[in-house]
Chains A and B, each alone.
Chain A
């Protein structure tokens, strides 16, 4: 392998033939601390800002799940010990307040979906990897990129503030269905907390759009010489498609939120009609709560893929690298991502089978929904085939990627139940749904995020994370996630509804065996959450004191590993490398090494070229 390292460097230096015009990367004036770390326009710094903010949110959102799991697993426990943390949200008997329980559930969902898995995952890795992997000095607009982070930051501050106000944060579920979310009379969380939620989300959407537009522009315009779309790593394909989905769907959520603000504060009736609450009949007529659901899920469903596709993209990259094999079916992977992206826009109403909408619509959306299972299945099969007959190195990133594939399958297959409207009659809003989306969307994406962190940490911070701690983190999390979410299927089949503070009011749900099971789930959740502390320690410790990273620690083919250990603003010191081949030349027959990076010309590797490389060889001659 050592020889390959030398080759890479020799090559990088000999290749300044085709000048890029703006070579000498940017002016060399000393950047102040503020410019370098706070209001930075360097995509790598912005990525780290997204990552660290996202991780902090992950600990808050995860901690909240710990609190409501206390209530669900130990409904009779006296939690007075948490008084310093929860204050007035504990009743005199030391139990979690009923509305605060709903607030916890709501904030957990909002934080995890938007702040952790959208901003923390896609924001981090799209920012970090797009310029590095397509061979660009930075994003198309560093300034918009900076704004994207700072809008996210403001949005975070607003949401964080809402947790501490006396009426509590938004509590109507992360889907904030009106009229509950529109009427402060309906619950205290629908007061100022809801206003802050809406403002925060509106600003979040601005952040997301600024980011996405940047990602799309960069991928289309700033690819280095030779980096055609068919030579792009699947990570970039995934980020690109994700950004397109985001640009097309987030504005719809923005409009939904805006109309809700109007209903709440300016007396309109978009979502309100024929309501009697708090002892009076409201004057609103003619609105429809179902309209909100349509608008919400028009984002809400694509959002699932906004969260999942980047994770799948990174997994493709990591599995190929560590199996020392090309990803199986590169084009099929792109095709299935495009298919998923397209279909994601026309399946939204499967969240609304029982909302009272026309059953005919239910039939249409059932057909469309189950089509989406086909490209998803193709992806899963392709991952597995990539592992088959590989030469697998289990880095922590690889473990998390294999874990992702497992969770993607186990959570995905129950989508076949839920997408079937006839079955959804019984399963809708039960724990079966909770199990389904936590596995396929929550845990799978989280695993993708963790895989990404472990894999690209050396590039982000120039240092290695500790592998052993990574292994422990993985196994605790992997086993833990299954122990938490798999049993929820049983509870769901038994009909237990979601967002219930307690089930003891119903004979049907007051089953001792499932009380025990809930306790079991809670304990598993606590252990899994505790396991994340290992990661937290490893992450922050290695950032400053970890071992210095080699240039290409995983012997990977993509361009980011051709940059210096601590790349400055501009990424490459000399020219941006030219790309001659796809990123998956791992264990190519005839090659001396088990990887050939993208910037190695085919003419240098005659021993491993095959008949498919003829076309690229011709192109290469034209280039040189």
Chain B
């Protein structure tokens, strides 16, 4: 087990390093034209431009540029030149909204997917199963911001059941927070429920064909116990791995679209605003932090996975 964890950690470190190099390449080497111009932002004065060239080391060799960029990103000293604001401070301010969104939505989509996945796996090929299959296909085909926009139109504008966007910190008012979060949670969950319920369904079907499930039946256990203790315990494993990945993705800026639409003032909305202004430094930092978070959480999930399913340790 220790061996597995060690190997997994080393490979994650390698990926983290490569991600940092690739991010550097994306922003400073691959694009055509001067990197300083992009970093400085639209309509930057010649003085700012000169400062950027000096600070980011654009007149130095590439490896120095890389080192400079990493130092700036990880010491939190990246500055958005268009507003002269420290990026890290903005990120911190946006984090509570983003975490609220990710935690709430992921709980909803996970439980929703389990319920629907189990129901459709009970009668494979039946009406309910086929209907759920079509609904799942539809739900993953509709962009999340469209779902959000339509929901806002009908549930906040036409009928004012929910507030028309905005974020209330949980520390300020729990119910205000809840009231503002429910619609974003649900909208973000729809597609994930569609996807996860289908994955769970096929995973359940696969597990039910396993020898050990036949053994469980031969033991005279109830259907319910076989489902919960033998089938679901195994079928949930791919779902949990996916869930780790998506949860990290949402926190790491994946909820950009829904945050913008609902004006949640989170990390994602900050990213979206920066894109609109073509303000590169915040995007750079968000991409880097977001991806690092995804890699770290994925590693953690994999290690937990190895505890849950002892066979995994033998592989890799």
Q: Do A and B come from one complex?
A: no
